[in-house]
Structure 1
Amino acid sequence: MNVTRQLVAYGRKPPTPLTVPLEAGSELQITQWLRILPGKRLVGCGEWQGQLVLVKLFIASAARRHWQRELNGVKALREQQLQTPELLASGALPGGGFYLITRYLEGARSLQQNWQALPDTSPANPDARAIVQRVLRALAQLHRHGLTQSDLHLGNFLCWQDDLYIIDGDAIQQHSPGEPITAAEAAHNLGLFFAQLVPAWDEQVELMLIDYLSLNSERALNPEQIQQSIDSGRAWRLRDYLGKAVRDCTLFSVRQNWWRFLSVQRKDSKALTTLLAAPDEPFTRQPPALKDGGSSTVTRVSLADRELVIKRYNIKSLAHWLRRFWRPSRAWHSWLAGHHLRFLDIATPEPLAMLESRFGPFRRRAWLVTAFCPGQDLCELVPADGSCLPSLEQQSALLALFTQLQRHQISHGDCKGTNILWAEGCFWLIDLDAMQAHQRPASWQQAWARDRARLIRNWPADSQMACWLEQALPNLSADTGIRG
């Protein structure tokens, strides 16, 4: 029996329970799958020789290399007496592939689970700070013993019986076992960790490192090197995440044929199946509730216990189609823009699905499905004559939003007050069709000037609101010759 070939054939849905034969007549009983990377790696828990175990099955063409790295990483942690689940067995699967079995820590919770359970994951929350401090103490121990972890997400740290366990041996790198790593290596690895957090944590780095330095002060750390590593790590993560948003993976379900391209968040794919099979149906059973324009039509839909928004991007004429068919649709652009903003912790309704109607490589109409944001727009909060200002809380939140956009050099492209919604104590951006992340300062400054001017034009030039915005929003054009 070729076990590996069968495991590959199961794809994303290997059955449970499943018996996996090992060498010398031994068997492994899988009762639950924890992570599935089709055709590459399967992670599950089950029973082996009367013990509750966690098993990793490596089934890709490069299985030996990944298995060996995992094995080496687990052994390195154990040799340095760092907490990681006990290695029980490893070896080759019949017919190719490899396995690795460790003790299963029943009842353990990952720091990612603890993090997601928090109502607030900003630096202002002591519980969030405690989780970050716990990781930094674990990293200090790693670095002090000459090791680093290259996949530093919170899911790779398990809490069990008051101890913190490091998992994912594949990401453990040995630099100088038994001796502290260099300051540059430490700065790079710490930067990779902080890059997993939203940018609001960047200002807390030096303060948070007190815990790290209490356990590993062998090398003097350079804050600038850490920030450079944060910036490069976050940029890489963003590119990787946006790439995943348009390909089939753990987070996104992507289906493509001659007639259409569909990307949907995997967690929502089942709930949205009927809606995405007939995306025009909500527009026919009721008048569009939010917008009925020529280039796009927007309506609101109730689905089970959720309120959603569907935006359909129309093709107005043959000439319009000839301008659009050869490039990604506005739905595609808005889909990526929404995920970009949420990655940076800038408030925007959650993008749930994107669908393009196609004829082979040629694009036609497209649809975008997002969560509904029940807020008031800025033009509702401030009278049309601009005779008063929003509340102090709202003023602060509006400036905070534009500070975030300025920091990441992002322009909205259509900065009308109706595209800025007040909800849950902050301002949310909607209608992201023209959003752009700029690489060149000159391009960014021009776009900022346009956004700034468009926002101010929502109210008369001599009004209180317009004058406040003129004073409060930086005028980058003053130094560049751009008219704001």
Structure 2
Amino acid sequence: MITLSALQHWCWNDAEPFSVDMSEGRLVADDILRHLPGKRLVVQGQWQGQKVIAKLFFNDSKAAGRHEYALLETLAGQGVCVPEALALLEQDNHAVLLMEPVSGAGLEALLTDRVDLPLLRTLLDTVWNLYEAGWIQTDLHLGNFLVRDDGGVVCLDAGAIKPVPSRGAAALVDNLALMCAQAALALQASLIQECLDFMKHHGVDSRDFEKRCRYALHRRMVQADRKFQRNCSAIRVESIKDGVVYSVRAGRNDLDAWLTYCEHPEVLPFLKKGSRVSVYANKNWVVKHYREAGLKARFKQKMKCSRGMISWRQGWLWALLGIPTPCPVMLVEFTQGERAGTSVIVFPKLESKALSQVMEQQRNRAQRLAVDVRLWLDRFLWAGISHGDMKAQNILVDEADKLSFIDLDGAGFSSRARWAQVKNQKDKLRFEKNWEQFR
């Protein structure tokens, strides 16, 4: 049992199921869905025998809980599909908003593997209906929509729904650009085209829309890149005796094993040994040991641009953008002692083989796979992304012909078009050179 005041002071590492007594009854939290320490906590649980989604507002001096409760009722009254508000509970200066869970599938998950044009059009119709009712979802992304079993689209996160600004349709265009930028990179071209058709149909000026999308995408990438270097809902950062550990918060049952691999990578079988980088692996994990040392290496660590840190940041960024890559689970930056300047990073091992092997052994299959590689390179150019070493050994393929990109310690991104063009051309030339190399 715990109080709301105690919950307010939870840190990232304390988040776990709990129950809290209110004057109206007991809230039992079974799963933590989102945690903003000291500000918000969203849980799935039970209230008086009923399943609920509970949103906890800590130190709610601006009455955000009351506002969201009233807004949900207003939106529902205007015919906007939102979760039903069940009750607003208050304790001291904290508030708890109880909502009815909505059954269905997340729109983001439904669009992960394929472009569903009818579903995209249903989403845009929902956005337009919201706009015509005088509202705009200021955090417009696919994760804030849920598709019910009957095909209806439900708007989530009412706290981000605001009255349409005085700019009117211009605000809607910026909002749609934000939605495109926050979608998976593979989906963005189709989504942008659907938005252009949608705006033309409704008579909305869509000039420079692609430019706005690219600007919003770059802002998102910059913000995400900074986020993945600090404590957040996905990543835990902690100090150890001779360095700093970055690790994924989810699925931490293997935490001790990862740390052992980072401290002593030699306990694993060798996969590859180079002059500055060694790679080890077992059936589950791949461990890369960057053996750089000296003043220059320590300076790079301090500036958060060591090869290990770049691989960590880019791995998380590419995964966020839906680019197929094994997302790293742990990075240790050794900053003191004999190993100062070195880094060790851990990835899940994929059941796949290098595209270079396919080029050698199955030429026709490799040529089919190359079509997908070139498509990704075009997407990288649009987004201003570079791999940095786009050779066939750094592209993995599984039995279902699904690609994955690895070795991102030379990857990067920029909003400068010239930078993107030069880097993309190098990536393309490096990939095409493989056809002669692997005859």
TM-score range relative to shorter protein? 0.7 to 0.9
Give the 3 Å change call, closer, same or farther, for CA 377–93 of structure 1 in structure 2. same
Between the aligned partners of 2:143 and 2:323, the Cα distance in structure 1 is 23
Between the aligned partners of 1:323 and 1:7, the Cα distance in structure 2 is 39
Between the aligned partners of 2:250 and 2:229, the Cα distance in structure 1 is 15
Q: Determine which of 361, 372, 377 is the counterpart of 1:397.
A: 372
AA of the residue aligned to 2:113: T
Q: Name the SS for the 1:83 alignment partner.
A: coil
Q: Name the SS for the 1:270 alignment partner.
A: helix
Q: Determine which of 112, 131, 152 is the counterpart of 2:140.
A: 152
Give the 3 Å change call, closer, same or farther, for CA 39–434 of structure 1 in structure 2. same
Q: Which residue of structure 1 aligns with residue 394 of structure 2?
A: 419
Between the aligned partners of 2:137 and 2:257, the Cα distance in structure 1 is 42
Q: Which residue of structure 1 aligns with residue 278 of structure 2?
A: 297
Instruction: Give the deviation of 1:101 after TM superposition.
Output: 2.7
Deviations 1:369-406 (A, max 9, x none): 1122444434434459xxx7764413322322332333
Alignment of 1:315-464 (within 5 A): 315=292, 318=294, 321=297, 324=300, 326-328=302-304, 329-359=306-336, 363-383=340-360, 391-423=366-398, 424-455=400-431, 458=434
Q: 277-286 vs 234-243, which deviates more?
A: 277-286
Instruction: Give the deviation of 1:334 after TM superposition.
Output: 0.8
Instruction: Give the deviation of 1:245 after TM superposition.
Output: 1.7
Count of paired positions: 432
Instruction: Report if the CA contact (8 A) 1:245-1:263 is conserved.
Output: no
Q: Which residue of structure 2 aligns with residue 203 of structure 1?
A: 189
Between the aligned partners of 1:165 and 1:415, the Cα distance in structure 2 is 41
Instruction: Give the deviation of 1:264 after TM superposition.
Output: 1.9
Instruction: Report if the CA contact (8 A) 1:410-1:437 is conserved.
Output: yes
Query: Quick check: 1:132 aligned with 2:120?
Result: yes
Between the aligned partners of 1:66 and 1:156, the Cα distance in structure 2 is 19
Instruction: Report if the CA contact (8 A) 1:70-1:170 is conserved.
Output: yes
Between the aligned partners of 1:156 and 1:327, the Cα distance in structure 2 is 35
Query: Quick check: 1:189 aligned with 2:183?
Result: no
Q: Which residue of structure 2 aligns with residue 90 of structure 1?
A: 88
Instruction: Give the deviation of 1:416 after TM superposition.
Output: 3.6
Between the aligned partners of 1:223 and 1:363, the Cα distance in structure 2 is 53
Identity level (%): 23
Deviations 1:449-480 (A, max 9, x none): 544554455576xx998xxxxxxxxxxxxxxx
Q: 291-300 vs 442-451, which deviates more?
A: 442-451
Between the aligned partners of 2:407 and 2:347, the Cα distance in structure 1 is 11
Between the aligned partners of 1:14 and 1:403, the Cα distance in structure 2 is 41
Between the aligned partners of 1:459 and 1:392, the Cα distance in structure 2 is 9
Return the TM-score normalized by structure 1. Answer: 0.76
Q: Which residue of structure 2 aligns with residue 470 of structure 1?
A: none
Deviations 1:186-216 (A, max 9, x none): 2222222222322333333466459967xx9
AA of the residue aligned to 2:176: L
AA of the residue aligned to 2:90: A
Between the aligned partners of 1:441 and 1:345, the Cα distance in structure 2 is 22
Between the aligned partners of 1:399 and 1:16, the Cα distance in structure 2 is 46
Unaligned segments of structure 1, at least 5 residues: 466-484
Q: Which residue of structure 1 aligns with residue 158 of structure 2?
A: 169
Instruction: Give the deviation of 1:309 after TM superposition.
Output: 0.9
Return the TM-score normalized by structure 2. Answer: 0.83
Q: 447-456 vs 409-418, which deviates more?
A: 447-456
Give the 3 Å change call, closer, same or farther, for CA 116–27 of structure 1 in structure 2. same
Between the aligned partners of 1:297 and 1:419, the Cα distance in structure 2 is 15
Unaligned segments of structure 2, at least 5 residues: none
Between the aligned partners of 2:302 and 2:45, the Cα distance in structure 1 is 50
Between the aligned partners of 2:158 and 2:415, the Cα distance in structure 1 is 36
Query: Quick check: 1:121 aligned with 2:113?
Result: yes
Between the aligned partners of 2:348 and 2:285, the Cα distance in structure 1 is 5
